[in-house]
Structure formats: structure tokens, C-alpha cells
Structure 1
Amino acid sequence: MKKSDLRIKYTKQRETLSQDEVLFLSEKIFLNFLEKFKVEESQKVHCFLSMLDKKEIDTRFFIDYFFKNRIRVFVPKISKGKMISVEITPETAFIKSFYGILEPESNLDSGETEYDFVITPLLYCDENGNRVGYGKGFYDQFFENIDANCSKVGVGLFQPREKIDDVWEKDIPLNYLVTPVEVLSF
């Protein structure tokens, strides 16, 4: 199936979920992540901030856990048409972006490229680790500029069922997909 068709299909499926269902499934995804990966003090994790109105996985479970366990947290911010990585703490101030996403007030790019994990948003991921996002290509550009050994971990509500037919040469696949049911490795 084409990315555009998958984007429509899985956006509609996600819209049928209640906020309580998304919260429940988000917690299951978080617990599956913890069961699979050993995240330790001082490691560096890049994690997106959820758009809860779009029923994305609620990453507050992840971020709260990382803060409690002294894991360094970096989040994306769009600055001058490019995704940068800003380190945050529990005291960080946030604002809503043009895209309606919470972002840190700071525009200070951390310059970090060596993450232990990048927790990646998606609408859909196929059985080869190819993802369908919102079509802007921010994460593929980001992946090009970080250490290749970083674990790129997608978090998604749905199991891979359809193959993505129009994977582009600049698309960078994920290493893992964490769903409410299981963790897949690619």
C-alpha cells in the first residue's frame, strides 16, 4: 500500500480510539519498552512529545520514568524548517508550536548525535521497519545526522499488516517497533 493510503487508513483507525484507550495502550507500550530495553542512568534518549489531540502514544510515561532514573532527555523542536534536539529537564518551560506540538521555549540545539535510543512517532510501521509519519520527512533527516548505532525505536498502536510499497531511498528504517502487544526487531 502507498504511504498516503496508509496515512489515511491509520489516522482514521486512531481517531476511533477514546482518550482512555490511547492512555491504556500507551502504558502497555511503555511497559513493553521497559521489558525489552535496559535504559540506565546517564544514557541519552531522544523522545518526541505527544500530540494528545491527535491520539498519539502518550510519551509522558517514558519521560517521567527517564527523569526519575536520571536519564538525559532530548526532545525535537522545529527551527528554521529543520528538526533540532533540545535537552530538557523537569523544569523546562514549553510553548505550542506552529504545528500544535509542545516544544521547549529554548532554541538551543544540543548538537547531540550519540543517543542510546530515539523514541520515534509514527502512524504505521511495516514488517521491515519502514514507517509512515506525517509526511514532512523530519525524522529521516534527523536519522541521517545521528550515530548509526543509535537504537531507533518506533512506538505504534497497530501491528504491521500491510507492506509499504513506496519506500524512498532516503527513508531510514527503524530498528524496533514497540506495540501494545509486542516488540518487533528489524
Structure 2
Amino acid sequence: MNERIFMVKSEIRKEYQQLRNRYSVAEALEIQQLVNQQIHHWQITTPQSFLSYQPLLSKRELSPIALEEKWATAADLPVKCYPKVISATEMVALTIQADTIYEANVWGIQEPLNAAVFPPGQLKAMIIPLLAFDEKGYRVGYGKGFYDRFLEKCAPDVLKVGICHFAPVPEIDDIHIYDVPLNYCITPERIYEF
């Protein structure tokens, strides 16, 4: 009989951040290149608007820039947004322009300063940072809940894409009713669809 392995988010978060921290600069670069290759070969429609993020390099986050660039080469350039935390529980999507100025927040994440708020309900896609995900597409982030609360304001059919260093864990044991699964997760080996 195939035994299922269940883990809770706090255990996954700790374990997978430790695994990421063990990567050397060369290993992290190699993983990023493999992810970029997956993105390059991925056949996906360009959304009219999307939310991405500035990677937190101190946590060895993978950069979504290859996917941003793939979508930016479309005939009709999509609206690109980055998140900005505006309170202890809330973030907004801000429209990015060539002249956007950034400033690091309390976690060291570069956020736009001089940008207009984009309505969450009008976003067509989101690239969501994560530490790990499971075989159903549920993700483990950093535990602050910003993306989960933001997703409540988005259209139900918003495309949700994650980028992860690792293959999925079998199942996250403590999923709650407000957790929203990804549609896709890009890893160095393959792109998972849920």
C-alpha cells in the first residue's frame, strides 16, 4: 500500500527554506536557468494584465523575470503590476512603468513607490512566490497571508502561477477553506498543471 506523507505548513516552511539556503550561488544560478528553460518552452497565452513580484534574493527566491519577459514580447503588451504591502494584513497591486521607483520594505522586498493602484478584479494572472506546493496545487508561502487575502479580491478565474525549486510534496495537511490552489507551478524539471 502506498503510504501518504502529510506535513503541515509550518514544518514545510522551515524545511524548504533550509533546503533553499543550502544552495551555493552556482547551484542557485543553475536552478534559475533550468526554470527559465521551462518558461521559454511553455506554450501559454499572454494575459492582458498580471501581478508579478521582485524576488527576495536573501531567501534564494527564484526570479519570475523570464515569464515577465515572455509575456512582454506579445503584440499587445500586458499591464504589469508588482505588490506593495500597505498594512499588517493587506497588499495592493501597483502598475509598473519604465520610470517606476522602488524602495525596500521591512522584509527587504523592493516595492514600487510612484505607481497607480490596479484593481485586483481586473488582473488576469498572478505569479505568486512560494516555498513549496503539493500535488493538488496548494502552496506554502512565508506565512503572512498577503497573497491569500489578496486573492479573495481577484476574479475566481485569475490564472495563478508559482515558481518553485522543488517537486511537490504529496499533501499539505493543514489547508483551510481560504487557501486557493495554483493553476500551474514551474519547477526546474517540469511545469505542473492542476
TM-score w.r.t. length of structure 2: 0.87
Letter matched to residue 128 of structure 2: T
SS, match of residue 121 in structure 2: coil
SS, match of residue 157 in structure 2: coil
- Contact conserved, 2:101 with 2:113, CA < 8 A, in 1? yes
Equivalent residue for 1:18? 24
Unmatched segments (≥5 aa) in structure 2: 1-6
Letter matched to residue 118 of structure 2: S
SS, match of residue 118 in structure 2: coil
Equivalent residue for 1:143? 151
1:64-101 CA distance string (max 9 Å, x none): 44445433211111012311000102321100011210
The alpha carbon displacement at 1:159 in A equals 0.2
State the identity %: 31
For 1:61 and 1:133, the matched residues in 2 are separated by: 21
For 1:119 and 1:83, the matched residues in 2 are separated by: 15
The alpha carbon displacement at 1:39 in A equals 4.1
For 1:103 and 1:86, the matched residues in 2 are separated by: 9
Letter matched to residue 45 of structure 1: F
The alpha carbon displacement at 1:125 in A equals 0.2
For 1:92 and 1:127, the matched residues in 2 are separated by: 37
1:175 aligned to 2:175? no
- Contact conserved, 2:39 with 2:66, CA < 8 A, in 1? no
Equivalent residue for 2:64? 59
The alpha carbon displacement at 1:113 in A equals 2.0
Instruction: Name the larger-Rg structure.
Output: 2
1:96 alignment partner, one of 100, 104, 123: 104
SS, match of residue 113 in structure 1: helix
For 1:26 and 1:64, the matched residues in 2 are separated by: 15
1:76 aligned to 2:83? yes
- Contact conserved, 1:22 with 1:56, CA < 8 A, in 2? no
Count of residue pairs the alignment pairs up: 185
For 2:54 and 2:39, the matched residues in 1 are separated by: 17
1:116 aligned to 2:121? no
For 1:17 and 1:33, the matched residues in 2 are separated by: 22
SS, match of residue 31 in structure 1: helix
1:103-135 CA distance string (max 9 Å, x none): 001363212423332111000000011110000
1:12-60 CA distance string (max 9 Å, x none): 00001123322332232233234334343x7212111100111000223
In structure 2, relative to structure 1, the CA distance for the partners of 1:185 and 1:62 (3 Å cut) is closer
TM-score w.r.t. length of structure 1: 0.90
In structure 2, relative to structure 1, the CA distance for the partners of 1:117 and 1:32 (3 Å cut) is farther
SS, match of residue 160 in structure 2: strand
For 2:80 and 2:36, the matched residues in 1 are separated by: 16
